[in-house]
Structure 1
Amino acid sequence: MKKIAPLFVLMASVLWGSMGIVTRYVADIGFTTRQTAAVRICSAAAVLILFLLITDHRKLKIEKQDLKWFLGTGLGSLFINNLAYAETVQRASLSVAVVLLYTAPFFVMIMSILFFKEKLTLQKVVALLLSFAGCVLVVGLSGANAGSNGAVTLLIGLCAGFGYSLYSIFGKVLVGKYDSLTVTVYTFIFSSIGTLIICQPASMAQRIVENSSKMPLVIIGSVVTLALPYVSYSIGLKYMESSKASIISSFEVVAASLFGVALYHETLDAYNMIGIICVVSALILLQVNFHKNT
């Protein structure tokens, strides 16, 4: 399983990369930014709960002492990440928001060394820098700005990256004890509670009723681009180091760009292509075993 663990993380990054398709569809219905996040997270949570109730309700059982870790993945990671990222997008350009979001692997690497005693190797450092540089080139920062209050925007954007990184830390603790579906479902349950508090649920419910014919597609899209990638990432995280998993997940930026080209006729310039090569090179580098006896 260890050999194919990176493939689960890579699959998760591709599914996350397709998230923009569903997000655009939900936003076009008329939901606010926070409501869009709430609809997607709550839809995914409902489907996951129903699935476990039908297939194996025992996976819904958790121990009280582990609630703090589930609160960490749900509120500390998924909720904070979504909230801070949405706020950053409103304050600055999308490219700035994406680059700040992908400071996450730096946080993961530092925390993995401190808490999991992972080794800091030259291979990881080079892969991390390659993937981050690649993300910057893929999204492009020419003409981008951090808005009128750059310091506050920077701080909020870093919070998005930090929140994103926490799943690789708290999730690593949980996947050693629980099934990946259990970890994912409780992550979404706690995150749903957070999003419902801040999204004006009454007006959101009214809009859902008014657009009930469109909701099945929203639910399916939320499961495919949000629930499934978290399950897949959790499986991969169980069998590999958090720092490596976080770096591999940066392929999400490449996947999102390729989906944009395929579905929305967006174009890639030379810098974008170099960025894609950098990210892919980082993924390949992580799979090379320099200590293998020949």
Structure 2
Amino acid sequence: MKRLAPLFVLMASVLWGSMGIVTRYVVAIGFNTRQTAAVRITSAAAVLILFLLITDRSKLKLRKEDFKWFLGTGLGSLFINNLAYAATVQRASLSVAVVLLYTAPFFVMIMSVLFFKEKLTVQKIAALFLSFAGCILVVGLSGANVGGNVIITLLIGLSAGFGYSLYSIFGKVLMGRYESLTVTVYTFILASLASLVIAEPVSMVRIIAANAEKMPVTVIGSVITLALPYICYSAALKYIESSKASIIASFEVVAASLFGVFLYHELLDIYNIVGIVCVVAALIILQLKPKSESGAP
């Protein structure tokens, strides 16, 4: 399983990259930004709970002393990440929001060194900066709009990145005690409760009732592009360093761009292509064994 861990993170990043397809579908139904996040998170949470109730209820058990860590993944990470990212998109261009979101690996690397005593290697630093530069080139920042209040917009965007990074930290702690399904389901339960509070639930119910025939696609899409990648990512965290996992997950930007090309006929310029090459190169660098390891018998 340890050898497959990077592949699990890569799978998660591809599924996250397809999130825009479902998001566009949900927004077209008539939900606003906060409601879209609430519908997707709550749908995924409901399916996960139902699945565990049918298959293995023991996975719903958790120790009281670990609840604080689930608050970290559910509220500190998933909820704050979604809320701050949505706010950044409203204040700035999508490219700026994506780049600020992908400051997450920087936060993860710092916290991993401090809390997990991970080694800060030249290999990791090179891959980190290469992947971040690649993300910037993929999304493009020419003529980027950062809104009226630049400092506030940047702080909110960085909050999205920081929230995103917290899952790699708290999730790493929890994966030493629980299975990935347990970590994911409680993360989504707490995030869905918080999302519903700010999403005008009465208005949401009316929209759902008026578009009942479109909800199955919404639910299935939410499970595939939101719950499933978190399950894959959580499972990988048990076997891979948090800093490496967060860098590999930056492939999400590349995946999203490629989905845009193939499904919506979006065009890639030379900078986008160079950016994709940079991100892929970063992933390759991370998989190279240090000389000390490669020379070992």
How does the TM-score come out when normalised to structure 1? 1.00
- Which residue is equivalent to 1:14? 14
Residue type of the alignment partner of 2:145: N
- Which residue is equivalent to 1:96? 96
Residues matched between the structures, number? 294
Matches within 5 A, 1:85-234: 85-234=85-234
Partner Cα distance (1:67, 1:45) in 2: 17
- Which residue is equivalent to 2:5? 5
- Which residue is equivalent to 2:39? 39
Instruction: Note the residue ranges of structure 2 that are not aligned, 5 or more in a row.
Output: none
SS of the aligned residue for 1:46 comes to helix
Partner Cα distance (1:208, 1:172) in 2: 36
Matches within 5 A, 1:240-255: 240-255=240-255
| 1:209 CA drift (Å) | 0.6
Partner Cα distance (1:71, 1:264) in 2: 37
Residue type of the alignment partner of 1:52: L
Residue type of the alignment partner of 1:65: E
Residue type of the alignment partner of 1:120: L
How does the TM-score come out when normalised to structure 2? 0.99
Deviation per CA, 1:36-78: give whole Å up to 9, x if none. 0000000000000000000000000000000000000000000
Instruction: Note the residue ranges of structure 1 that are not aligned, 5 or more in a row.
Output: none
| 1:170 CA drift (Å) | 0.1
Residue type of the alignment partner of 2:75: L
SS of the aligned residue for 1:151 comes to helix
Partner Cα distance (1:243, 1:268) in 2: 29
Residue type of the alignment partner of 1:293: G
| 1:174 CA drift (Å) | 0.2
Deviation per CA, 1:195-228: give whole Å up to 9, x if none. 0000000000110010000000000000000000
Deviation per CA, 1:232-257: give whole Å up to 9, x if none. 00011110000000000000000000
Deviation per CA, 1:6-47: give whole Å up to 9, x if none. 000000000000000000000000000000000000000000
Residue type of the alignment partner of 2:73: T
- Which residue is equivalent to 1:266? 266
Mean Cα deviation higher: 43-52 or 283-292? 283-292
SS of the aligned residue for 2:62 comes to coil
SS of the aligned residue for 1:119 comes to coil
Q: Does 1:60 align with 2:57?
A: no
Partner Cα distance (1:92, 1:127) in 2: 27
List, as ranges, runs of 4+ consecutive aligned residues in structure 1 with deviation greater than 2 Å. none
Partner Cα distance (1:140, 1:192) in 2: 32
Residue type of the alignment partner of 1:22: V
Residue type of the alignment partner of 2:295: N
Residue type of the alignment partner of 2:213: S
Partner Cα distance (1:119, 1:272) in 2: 31
Deviation per CA, 1:57-107: give whole Å up to 9, x if none. 000000000000000000000000000000000000000000000000000
Supply the RMSD in Å over aligned alpha carbons: 0.5
Partner Cα distance (1:214, 1:286) in 2: 41
SS of the aligned residue for 1:177 comes to coil
Residue type of the alignment partner of 1:7: L
Q: How much identity, in percent, do the aligned residues show?
A: 77
| 1:262 CA drift (Å) | 0.5
| 1:145 CA drift (Å) | 1.8
Residue type of the alignment partner of 1:30: G
| 1:113 CA drift (Å) | 0.3
Residue type of the alignment partner of 1:248: I
- Which residue is equivalent to 1:277? 277
Partner Cα distance (1:58, 1:190) in 2: 19
